[in-house]
Amino acid sequence: MSSLALAPRPGSDRPAEDLLLRVGGLSVEVATPLGRIEAVRNVSFDLHRGEAIGLVGESGSGKTLTCRAVLGVLPAGCSIARGAIELGGIDLVRLGRDGWTTIRSTQLGAVFQDPASYLNPSLPVGEQLAEVIRVKTRSGRRAARARALELLAAMHLHRPRHVYQQIPAELSGGMLQRVMIAIAVACDPLLLIADEATTALDLTTQREVIDLLWELRERLGLAVLFVSHDLAAVAELCDQVAVFYAGEVVEIGATSAVISRPAHPYTEALLRVGSLGAEEHAALEVIPGYHPRLGEAPDGCRFAPRCGHRVEACASVPPLSAAPAGVRVRCLRSGELALAGAELR
């Protein structure tokens, strides 16, 4: 179930009606004491129905801000400077408050990192789930409760009736995250956004949650936008992956292609670093240098200072260019470098 048996699906293969989310040339600016700085620059990707895309990068790479922009919940001081975000044809950039209220939960669902902080600590979780159903689908109390129980069972929660009446403090992190997922998919949205949803969980629980998300994709045809700093977790779940660095997408394409044959030196570095040591003590790879903080990114190729393959030409901004297997990459030398890939499991 969790093997990557899906064939790679670069966007161009799919018919236009299937296009669910289009992000085009998105730039997000942040107000700082030094002025407005671009934290996300020129990000574009497409997501079709039932597809999953993963946004991967370190802290500060812009993946979270991109995700928040799609959700319409940018933090104070941040705003969309340029670009388009369209969900099923609806323009999300200019959407008003009423519009957001309509599409939230019904078209768009979201789960975040710390489920406990998104739930009322004194109410039973089942009731909170039922409330969402009641409000968004205008059903009666009994119908909502029945649907809530159904959902809890669908999330593979053991003894749904018992869980229904528990308050958040009585449930484990994994169980709470499943409840959040239930809330997110309660009204059959088309797109689920998971923002570091598995980061704080134990490994075994993380695995269960990823498996659950996979199952939801298959059963409900749910599209997923998965944001994480863990490339492996993203690779488990997503058909497409977009690698973020310093606010830009440096590589984007089918997961199997990106992992087995990375086109960008940063992707290769991520693979090297995240790779499990063998039985012998591994070299414990690191990427030299540090991810630039906001406003510190150099002109030209932003990864250049840490890149082992840089040349003089890298002082100019590389455009997104085509690489083999439908992958797009932001690197001038991509074609001539032989970068080492990895396997997933």
Partner 1 sequence: MSAAELLEVEAIDVHLRSRRRASRRTSDAHILAGVSFSVAPGEIVGVIGETGSGKTTLARTVLGLIQPTAGAIRFEGEQISGIGGRRLRSLRRRGAVQLVFQDPLRSLDPDLAVAAIIAEGLDIRGGLDAGERARRIARALDLVGLDQTVAARRPGELSGGQRQRVTIARAVVMEPRLLICDEPVSALDASNRNRILRLLRELRDALGIAIVIISHDLASIAGVVDRVAVLYRGRIVEEGEAAQLFRAPAHPYTALLLASAPRISRARWRFDLAPEQLRREGTDAAPESGGCVFEPRCRFAVERCREEEPPRTPSTAGGTVACHRATEWRASLERDAAR
Partner 2 sequence: MTALLKPLRRLLPSVYLRVAAAVVAFMFAVALLGGLIAPQNPLAQNAAETFAGSSWAHPLGTDFLGRDTFSRLITGARPSLLSALVAVAIGLVGGAIPGMASVFLGRRAEYLVMRVVDAFMTIPPIIFAIAIIAGFGNGLTPAVVAIGILLVPRFFRVIRADTLKLASAQYVEAALLFGASKAYVLRRHIWRKVIPTLAVTSSSALGASVLGISSLAFLGLGEQPPAASWGAMLANDLQYLYQEPWAAIWPGLAIAVTVWALNALSDAVHTARPREVEPADAVEPLRAEDAAAAERASVPQYV
- The partner in contact with residue 64, picked from partner 2, partner 1, none with C-beta cut-offs of 5 to 8 angstroms by kind, is partner 2
The C-alpha atoms of residue 128 and residue 123 are separated, in whole angstroms, by: 7
Give the one residue of 13, 172, 293, 315 binding partner 2; rule: CB under 8 A.
Answer: 293
Distance CA 75, CA 170 (A): 31
**Spatial CB neighbours of 52, under 8 Å, sequence gap ≥ 6:** 217, 223, 224, 225, 226, 237, 238, 239, 240
Member of 15, 35, 75, 140 binding partner 2 (CB under 8 A): 75
Applying the rule CB under 8 A, the residues between 230 and 249 that interact with partner 1 are: 230-233, 235-236
Cβ-based nearer residue to partner 2, 118 or 214? 118
Query: What φ, ψ does residue 79 adopt, rounded to 5°?
Result: -150, 160
| Rounded Cα distance, 28 and 126, in Å | 37
Letters for 173-212 (x = contact with partner 1 by CB under 8 A, - = none) are x-x--------------------------xxxxxxx-xx-
171 near partner 1, judged by CB under 8 A: yes
Cβ distance to partner 2 smaller for residue 126 or 253 = 126
Shortest distance, position 276 Cβ to partner 1, whole Å: 5
DSSP assignments along 227-284, one per residue = EES-HHHHHHH-SEEEEEETTEEEEEEEHHHHHHS--SHHHHHHHHHHSPP-SSPP--
Q: Find out whether 223 and 49 touch, Cβ atoms under 8 Å.
A: yes
Residue 127 sits in the site that holds partner 2 (CB under 8 A): no
Coil/strand/helix, residue 86: strand
Q: Is 275 in the site for partner 1 (CB under 8 A)?
A: yes
- Which residues contact partner 2 (rule: CB under 8 A)? 30-32, 39, 58-62, 64-65, 68, 71, 73, 75-78, 104-105, 110, 112-114, 117-118, 132, 135, 183, 195-196, 200, 229, 293-294
**Residues within the interface to partner 1 (CB under 8 A):** 1-2, 58-59, 156-159, 169-173, 175, 202-208, 210-211, 229-233, 235-236, 259, 269-287, 290, 340, 342-345
